[in-house]
Structures are given as structure tokens and as C-alpha cells.
């Protein structure tokens, strides 16, 4: 009996010992594999694998696309800022630097801006209006890198603030313009190849004649403190704006400015509180 007990004791101890050895080998193997994976990860990090790979994408954008979009946004903001200053002052020298006036498309886009500026300044002086500030907020969308050029859409929200010569009450209206732009790449910047957009001034400014004296746009009309409107409109009136015999768009009279000049809202041209005849001749505006 004593011998059998000793045999069982020995057998149990042997099993426990073998379990211990197996468990120890398992633990050592796990730690070894963990250390090996850590080593591989460290090598990738130390070699800057992710940081130096230009093809590494974040969502649908890579680093080059983001950088190009930021540069284009800065360029467009500068362009619109100088254009807005030209609206206020008539000086276009700073604006011309954004264009290549040896290229047909770029020259066309530049001349289109001069017509718009000249028209708006003449419209204002004829009515005794003084623009105090014009500011633009821009969002760039759908930028495409074509090698020597980039193309994209720019949504511009433009705010116009004005007073009258004998009234310091500030009036404000907003328009939203959608530009389709093509820019030529330069060493450290861009130049405009094309800038096409639906414009609330186009109906009148397209064929507008401007007078350029050196780097300054001269007024074609005279200051008129007694300017009067032919039509009278009430809030809620719906106005049709016609080209030839076709309705281009409609607007609703939403109020009046500080001189009782009728203002409209129009979703077609994305305008808010805009003077009712800006960009149009009164003879082409009809009340429904």
C-alpha cells in the first residue's frame, strides 16, 4: 500500500511538472511573437514609410491635391479682393496682373470684368449711390489637376454695402455667383485662362462700353441727385425680367432701401435684397 501511494505521488508530480514546462514554453512563444511584431512596426516608423509616401491618401484627397487647392483658394481670394477694390475705386492695374493679356481667353475674361466694373460704377453714380465696401467669400469645389492647368468650380458669395450721397444709412445686398475657372500654372502662382459664370449683371454689362484712361475706368454717366424711377412696386409684387420676348427669370419685391428703392429676392440668380433694376433696363422689367 505504501509503495502504491508513492507511485501515485510521483506520477502526479511528473504531470504537474510537464504541464508547467508546456505552459512556460507557450508563454515564452507568445512574448517572442509580440516582440517580433513590435520590431517590425518600429522599423516601418523609423523609415517614415507613411510620411514619405506621396501616394498615401486621406479619404479621397492626397497631400498634393490639398496643397494645390489651398494655393488656388489663396489666388482666387486675392483676385476677387482686387476686383472688388476696382469696383470701389475704378483702378484696374492690380486686377490686370491676374490675367495673361497675350491669350485670347484670358483677355476675354479680363474685358468682361472691366465691363462689369464700369457698369456698376455708372449705375451707382447715376442714382447717387456710394458703395462703401464689397466683400467676397469663396468655396472651391471639384478641383482637377490637368498638368499645366487646373480647373474647378468656385462658389462666390458677394456682399455689397452702400449709402446715398445725402443719407449715411447703410444698405446691404447679397448675390451668389458660380464661377467655372481654368488656371494656368506658373512657377509659384497661377494666371487666369478662363473665368465663366452666370452673372446678375450680364444682361446689361455684356455689351457695355467702358472708358479706360490709363489704369482707371472713367464714369460714362453723371451724378444725378434727382434720379427717379418710372415704375412703382409694392412688397409682394412679382416681377418678370425679359430678354426679347422670353422671361429670363422672376423676382419678388421684398422691401425698400433707405431711399425707398425697391429691392427683390430671386432664387434664379441667387440674390437677396438686390436693387430691382441692377443689371437690367426698366423697360425689360414687368409686373405680373
10 and 145 inside one domain? no
Residue 228 falls inside a structural domain: no
Residue 224 falls inside a structural domain: no
CATH number at residue 170: 3.10.450.50
**pLDDT of 55:** 31
More reliable by pLDDT, 255 or 33: 255
pLDDT at 171 over 70: yes
Residue 230 falls inside a structural domain: no
Percent of the chain with pLDDT over 70: 77
Q: Are the C-beta atoms of residues 138 and 154 closer than 8 Å to each other? A: yes
Residue 103 falls inside a structural domain: yes
Q: What is the residue range of 249's domain?
A: 238-287
Task: Return the bridge partners of 216, or none.
Answer: 91, 213
pTM of the predicted protein model? 0.76
| Number of separate helices (H) and strands (E) present in the chain | 5, 13
Q: Are strands 238-243 and 216-218 parallel, antiparallel or unpaired?
A: unpaired
Q: Per-residue pLDDT tens for 224-247? A: 988 888 889 999 999 999 988 899
Q: Per-residue pLDDT tens for 70-120? A: 999 999 999 999 999 999 999 999 999 999 999 999 999 999 999 999 999
Q: How far is C-alpha 199 from the geometric centre of its chain's CA atoms?
A: 16
Q: How far is C-alpha 54 from the geometric centre of its chain's CA atoms?
A: 26
43 and 117 inside one domain? no
Residue 21 falls inside a structural domain: yes
Q: Per-residue pLDDT tens for 18-68? A: 555 655 665 565 445 444 443 443 333 333 322 333 332 333 345 566 689
Q: How many separate domains does the chain show?
A: 3
260 and 204 inside one domain? no
243 and 274 inside one domain? yes
142 and 168 inside one domain? yes
13 and 91 inside one domain? no
Mean pLDDT in the chain?
83
- DSSP helix/strand/coil, 73: helix
Residue 15 falls inside a structural domain: yes
Amino acid at each position: 500500500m505504501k509503495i502504491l501511494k508513492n507511485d501515485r505521488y510521483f506520477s502526479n508530480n511528473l504531470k504537474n511538472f510537464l504541464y508547467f514546462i508546456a505552459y512556460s514554453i507557450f508563454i515564452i512563444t507568445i512574448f517572442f511573437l509580440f516582440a517580433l511584431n513590435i520590431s517590425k512596426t518600429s522599423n516601418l516608423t523609423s523609415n517614415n514609410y507613411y510620411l514619405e509616401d506621396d501616394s498615401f491618401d486621406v479619404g479621397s484627397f492626397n497631400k498634393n491635391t490639398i496643397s494645390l487647392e489651398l494655393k488656388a483658394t489663396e489666388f482666387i481670394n486675392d483676385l476677387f479682393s482686387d476686383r472688388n477694390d476696382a469696383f470701389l475705386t475704378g483702378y484696374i492695374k492690380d486686377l490686370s496682373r491676374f490675367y495673361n493679356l497675350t491669350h485670347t481667353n484670358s483677355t476675354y475674361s479680363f474685358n468682361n470684368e472691366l465691363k462689369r466694373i464700369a457698369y456698376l460704377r455708372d449705375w451707382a453714380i447715376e442714382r447717387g449711390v456710394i458703395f462703401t465696401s464689397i466683400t467676397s467669400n469663396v468655396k472651391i469645389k471639384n478641383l482637377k489637376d490637368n498638368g499645366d492647368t487646373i480647373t474647378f468650380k468656385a462658389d462666390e458669395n458677394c456682399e455689397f454695402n452702400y449709402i446715398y450721397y445725402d443719407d449715411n444709412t447703410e444698405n446691404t445686398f447679397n448675390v451668389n455667383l458660380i464661377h467655372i475657372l481654368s488656371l494656368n500654372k506658373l512657377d509659384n502662382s497661377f494666371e487666369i485662362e478662363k473665368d465663366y459664370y452666370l452673372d446678375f449683371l450680364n444682361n446689361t454689362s455684356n455689351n457695355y462700353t467702358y472708358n479706360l484712361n490709363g489704369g482707371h475706368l472713367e464714369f460714362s454717366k453723371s451724378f444725378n441727385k434727382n434720379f427717379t424711377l418710372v415704375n412703382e412696386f409694392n412688397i409682394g409684387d412679382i416681377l418678370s425680367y425679359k430678354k426679347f420676348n422670353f422671361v429670363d427669370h422672376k423676382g419678388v419685391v421684398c422691401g425698400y432701401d433707405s431711399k425707398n428703392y425697391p429691392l427683390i429676392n430671386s432664387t434664379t440668380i441667387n440674390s437677396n435684397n438686390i436693387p430691382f433694376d441692377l443689371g437690367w433696363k426698366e423697360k425689360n422689367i414687368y409686373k405680373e
